[in-house]
Every structure is written in structure tokens, then in C-alpha cells.
Amino acid sequence: MKDGKIIIFDTTLRDGEQSPGASLNITEKLEIARQLAVLGVDVIEAGFPISSPGDFEAVKTVAKSIRGPVICGLARAIEKDIDAAYNAVKFSARPRIHVFLATSKIHMKYKLKKAEDEILRLAVASVKYAKSKCQDVEFSPEDASRTESAFLHKVVESVIDAGATTVNIPDTVGYSTPFEFAAIIKGLKENVPNIDKCVISVHCHNDLGLSVSNSLAAVINGARQVECTMNGLGERAGNASLEEIVMAIKTRPDIFSGANTSINTKELYKTSRLVSKLTGMMVQPNKAIIGSNAFAHESGIHQDGVLKERITYEIMKPEDVGFESTNLVLGKHSGRHAFTERLKKLGFELTREQTEKAFDRFKVLADKKKEIFDEDLETIVEEEISKIPEKFHLVHFHISSGDQVKPTATIELKFKNKALKAVSTGDGPVDACYKAIDKITGAKGKLMDYQIRSVTSGKDALGEVSVKIESKGRVVSGRGASTDIIEASIKAYINAANKLVYEK
């Protein structure tokens, strides 16, 4: 493989927009185009001008507004298509017309109903016509990966002679495999005598999940342009993902020796988010490079390794693609190392004993909800730090309640290694619980204030209850937290009761 730059041809605004449900208006296309220019793509395929008046205006607007990248418009091998493409992209300082015509026997027989000699004539004529309007002409033999080699070589040679500056080899239906696709590119290099007069491009679809692999195999064998989309958007299963192509080349210089792109990789995440927002096509969390889990670690073993040395479990720096940092997700698989490091970042300094108790509470909570947030940790730690000696400790509670049932609570507390149980009714389940606790503790406090708030979002959020109790002229506060709001209410009341006993 020779050294050299790989041209990044972005077709998010054309092939990406063809994803069902991903339609963009002119303003949205322009916003994405501006970000693609900031990202550093070499070519923006802004649309298919003949397809609709709206798409024509969108391509025209992008051509007028965006400076830097080549602005390309797609056209069938028909003069009216080529006219529309040119009239849309001509306002760009660097316009390109992209002509395509199917060359596989399947497409020629069932779609075009034309023989090889007629296809060859149309290909040459369309390139010549496009060349008469624009110096930069790209030609794609559609379904090239299923086209017979001899005919493909003949078509490519002929369109280069006709003036094509780029010849794109599409794996239109994602049928090829890396070994086959590499052989196709190698075959062009070896059998098309004028192949050095043009740039070989590739456009791979992901129907078998091989679009990126096929594109990279082509690069290794001489392709110098890769057509791709942000987030892998595109027809059916999508196109090769721009972010995956770029980061593979950047991360593995040992494989792609000397190859480079002009992409500012730190803009990848921002671009991905913009495309996702405007198209309404969400990015799966485990999506390579730009998924929310791409640099997230929950496993305690992985977290410990990353904290000791990032490269143990990360082959790229999250900052290099636009993330702020590695995300150590705290959950039931997390270990002490990640837990203590997060506490340090939050500004807590705990004793070893406090840390162990807080970690135990964290593990209990982690079994109840998928992810622990910083606010959850703050609640756990603040309770641990401010905790007074627990004379009364909750062992068990049971609630019976409903609109046709008198709320009844059974509470069991531990006091000096003894289990004490009481049953009481009330106006509601919380009131019943508090009356049962009063029977056990003898506190007989008056509830002055009761507040509840969600510490974090989601149905499994940690709820925090704060209470104020007045007893014999003294007012104490109590606080409790749990994913079960009744349990949080009980803990808050017991916390206040313990304070009354402690003060005595």
C-alpha cells in the first residue's frame, strides 16, 4: 500500500437521507453541511437534484453557502438529470457531478432491460455530457460488486477515457465480502490500463454488516476515496460509517501505513449528535466510536485497569473523537477502585470505615437500579458522613393499603440486639408506619414537615425523604433515601428518632 491521503466523500445528505424516516428540509441540510465542513470532509454529496424541487434547492443552497469541500450532486445517466445536478452545484467553487448507471447482469436484465453494448454507450455518453459542463466528474457502475469482471474493467476504462476523474465502485446491496472486494479493486489496478488517470472510490452498503470492512480492504488495495455517512445512515442497513473508517485508519497506522484523512476527529461526536437530532435516527449506545457506551466501563476489572493505565481497555482516547473523558459507569459490576475515584472527584474525603459502609450501601442500591448517578452517591455519602449512632435500625416492614383497605403497617426494628415489632393503622401507609415506629421507640414525635424529592431521573430513581419531628419542645430533622419511597420515608423517621435518643 502506497502512502497517501484518503479522500472522505460524505453522502449523509444524499444516501443517508434516504433512510426511511430520515428526511431533511433545506435548513437542516445546510446545518449539517456546515458541520461537515468543520469536520473536514473532502466531498459533500448534497443530494439528488432531479429527485424533487426541494432537493434541487437544498443542493443549490449548500453549493452557494459552503466553502472548502467539493459539493457534489447525483445524476442518472440521463441528460436532464445531469443538467439538474449541474444547475444545482455550479454555484460551488468546487462543483462535481456524480453519474451512475447499473452494470450487473441482474440490474441490466430486470431494471434497465438493456444489453452490455447499450450500457457501455450510455455510460460513455453521460460522462462526456457531464464533462462538457463540469471538469470534476465521478462515475459509478451501480452494483459493481455483482458485475462480471471483464465488463466492469471495460466500463471503467471507457469512462476514464471519456473524462471521468473519479470512478466509484459500489457494493450497492452489501453483497460482497472483504476478500472479494479487495480482489475487485486489485483487478482494476491490474487490468485497466488508464486506471492511474482517476481516483478509485468505493461505496459500500452494510446489509451483511461488512461495509466498513469492505471499504478498508479496498483502501489497502489502492482505493483513494471512501464514500460514507455519519452514524452509518443509508438505504436499508445503511452505509459504511464515516467515524469508523476514519478512526480505523488513524488508530491502526501499522495496517494502513502512511494513509491519512483530513478529518478533525474531535468533531466526530458533535457531528454525530447533530445528524442524529435532525434526522431523528437515534444512535445505539454500543455504536462504535460515537455511541454513548463507546468509552464507558462498568466492569470492576475494566475500571480498575483503565484507572491504572488507559490503554489496558481503550485503544483510542475519548477526547480524540469529541467525548469529554472516559465514562466509568457505576453499577452492580463496578468495584471499589472506580467507586473511591468517583468520590474523590465529587470532593468527599471519607475514612476507610466510612468508605466501606458507603460502598456496601452503593452495592445494595446498584442491585435495584441500572446506573448509579453522582447525585445518588452524594446522597449515600452524605448520609454516611452525618450518620449518628443507630440505636434503632430497620429490619423489616410490611404495608397493607388501598382505596378500600385501612392502611396498616408492620414495622420491625432492631434495638440493642433485640427485634422489636409493632403494628399500627393510619390515614395512609406512611402515617401507619410512623405510628408503628412511635410504639417501638416511645418517641411520640409530632411530624412538623415532610418533603420528598427525586434524587435522579427515571422510574428507578433514588427518592429522598426529609422530615422534621417535634418532641417535648425539641425539633430534629431526619433523612432517608431509597428507590422505594415508603422505605425512604421510614428511614427518614427512624433517623430523626435516633437523633432524639442520641440527644437524650
- Please report the pLDDT score of residue 344 as a whole number: 75
What is the β-pairing status of strands 166-171 and 95-102? unpaired
Residues 92 and 168 in one domain: yes
- Please report the pLDDT score of residue 292 as a whole number: 67
Residues 275 and 409 in one domain: no
Angle, CA of 287, 293 and 297, to the nearest 5°:
140
Please check whether residue 180 lies inside any domain of the structure.
Answer: yes
Please check whether residue 383 lies inside any domain of the structure.
Answer: no
- Please report the pLDDT score of residue 1 as a whole number: 42
Residues 255 and 165 in one domain: yes
Residues 27 and 173 in one domain: yes
Count of domains in the chain?
3
Domain boundary among 218, 245, 279: 279
Residues 260 and 319 in one domain: no
- The CATH number that applies at residue 468 is 3.30.160.270
Residues 362 and 403 in one domain: no
Tell me how far apart the terminal alpha carbons of the chain are, to the nearest angstrom.
83
Please give the residue range of the domain that contains residue 328.
Answer: 297-368
Please check whether residue 328 lies inside any domain of the structure.
Answer: yes
For 449, list phi and psi in degrees, rounded to 5.
Answer: -155, 145
Rounded Cα distance, 491 and 485, in Å: 10
- Please report the pLDDT score of residue 346 as a whole number: 66
Spatial contact of 146 and 175, defined as CB atoms under 8 Å apart: yes
Please check whether residue 386 lies inside any domain of the structure.
Answer: no
Residues 229 and 318 in one domain: no
Residues 180 and 70 in one domain: yes
In order along its 504 residues, the chain shows pLDDT tens digits of 445 899 999 999 999 998 877 788 899 999 999 999 999 999 999 999 999 999 999 999 999 999 999 999 999 999 999 999 999 999 999 999 999 999 988 888 877 777 888 999 999 999 999 999 999 999 999 999 999 999 999 999 999 999 999 999 999 999 999 999 999 999 999 999 999 999 999 999 999 999 999 999 999 999 999 999 999 999 999 999 999 999 999 999 999 988 999 999 999 988 998 998 888 888 888 888 888 666 555 455 555 564 566 666 566 777 878 766 454 455 556 667 777 777 777 667 777 777 787 777 777 777 766 666 666 676 666 565 555 667 888 999 999 998 889 999 999 999 888 999 999 999 999 999 999 999 998 877 788 888 887 766 666 667 878 888 888 777 777 778 888 889 989 988 988 888 777 655
Residues 257 and 312 in one domain: no
- Please report the pLDDT score of residue 281 as a whole number: 84
DSSP assignment of 260-274: E----GGGHHHHHHH
Tell me how crowded residue 484 is: count the other CB atoms within 10 A of its CB: 14
Rg (C-alpha) for the chain, rounded Å, is: 33
> Which DSSP letter does residue 197 get?
G
- The CATH number that applies at residue 267 is 3.20.20.70
Please check whether residue 248 lies inside any domain of the structure.
Answer: yes
CA-based nearest residue to 146, from 110, 113, 107: 107
Residues 340 and 211 in one domain: no
Please check whether residue 387 lies inside any domain of the structure.
Answer: no
Please check whether residue 493 lies inside any domain of the structure.
Answer: yes
Domain boundary among 368, 403, 428: 368
> Which DSSP letter does residue 6 get?
P
In the numeric block, the cell 468505493 is attached to: 202
Residues 347 and 410 in one domain: no
**Which distant-in-sequence residues (6+ apart) come within 8 Å of 352 by Cβ?**
none
Residues 271 and 336 in one domain: no
For 9, list phi and psi in degrees, rounded to 5.
Answer: -100, 110
DSSP assignment of 337-395: HHHHHHHHHTT----HHHHHHHHHHHHHHHTTSS-B-HHHHHHHHHHHHTPPP-SEEEE
Please check whether residue 285 lies inside any domain of the structure.
Answer: no
